[in-house]
Structure 1
Amino acid sequence: MRHKRLEHRFVEHIPERLQPGVLYVSMEYATSAHTCCCGCGEEVVAPFTPTDWKMTFDGETISLRPSIGNWTLKCRSHYVIDRGKVKEAGPWSDEQVEAERRRDRMSKARFYGQSPNVEPQAEPALPTNELGFWRRLWTQIFGRK
């Protein structure tokens, strides 16, 4: 990891050009941005929402949770920003990434009261009267078997 620490700057608007090693935080737009900590130079944006990232400011440093997983970037870097320090979190397999994406879609769907966009199950659908309680409830709420 090229950047072991990120200096934070509170800004109204995220600048067009990001300075490496700086975590820009816009409270007005509830988001942060920085260049990837691996040093590849790609822009990384972390929005603050109930289902995305949480930012903690302790008066001196900033932490972001959960980890930053740059799965769509060539570098596929993965790290945590904890009190301004960058801690490498290690690589994830494609299966781990896809499982997290499914979990994220489900979390957003639950929070926003929408039907999740999930892939069809490989297993055959059972008649409704043979489904378990949770599957019947899921079907009633989201209209999927």
Structure 2
Amino acid sequence: MTGSIEKLVPQFVEFIPKVLEPGVLYISVEYTTTAHRCACGCGEKVVLPLHPTDWRLTFDGKSITMRPSVGNWGFPCRSHYLITCNRIEWAENWSDEQISAGRIRDAKRRSSWHGTQAANTHKPVETPAPNLKSHGLAGFIRRMKEFVTQFRR
């Protein structure tokens, strides 16, 4: 593709900036989301939520891999690609029927996951909830920031 991006450089941030630089994958661990400019070069802002029913991010200390693929079906470019070890891997174009089937599959997966989570909330809690200032997500975020800081040195 003309003007397409071959690589995305990960940048860990607390907040996604209003202006996104081409070729940068912004990652907010605090807000479990990522954003980048479309890899085709059209300039559209692509926001990918990190969640078990949406996208998963793998960071090996140097590079980022995200799954599943990025299908920008709502953009005029309709680009479709994977992000693997910071590199863009172009995927096949999908037909309108494939897009519709994929959206239905995604909605079922989300509904199933959220239904399971809702059912789990009705179980009695035998121990007090952890103090999130030193445990849980806040602790994970703190440790991730420390790791990224060491990685940048």
TM-score band w.r.t. shorter chain: 0.7 to 0.9
2:86 to 84, 98, 110: 84
Greater fraction helix? 2
Which runs of structure 2 are paired with 1:44-123 in the superposition (5 Å)? 44-113=46-115
Which runs of structure 2 are paired with 1:122-133 in the superposition (5 Å)? none
- Which amino acid in the other structure matches residue 60 of structure 1? K
Report SS of the residue matched to 1:113: helix
Structure 2 residue runs of 5 or longer lacking an equivalent are 117-153
The corresponding residue for 1:30 is 32
The corresponding residue for 1:7 is 9
- Which amino acid in the other structure matches residue 15 of structure 1? P
The corresponding residue for 1:39 is 41
| TM-score calculated relative to the size of structure 1 | 0.77
CA drift of 1:101 comes to 0.2
The corresponding residue for 2:19 is 17
| Cα distance between partner residues in 1 of 2:48 and 2:65 | 12
| TM-score calculated relative to the size of structure 2 | 0.73
What number of residue pairs does the alignment pair up? 114
Report SS of the residue matched to 1:33: strand
Runs of 4+ with >3 A deviation: none
- Which amino acid in the other structure matches residue 63 of structure 2? T
Identity %: 53
Report SS of the residue matched to 1:65: strand
1:17-47: CA deviation from partner (whole Å, max 9, x where unpaired): 0000000000000010000000000000010
| Cα distance between partner residues in 1 of 2:82 and 2:75 | 16
CA drift of 1:78 comes to 0.2
Structure 1 residue runs of 5 or longer lacking an equivalent are 115-145
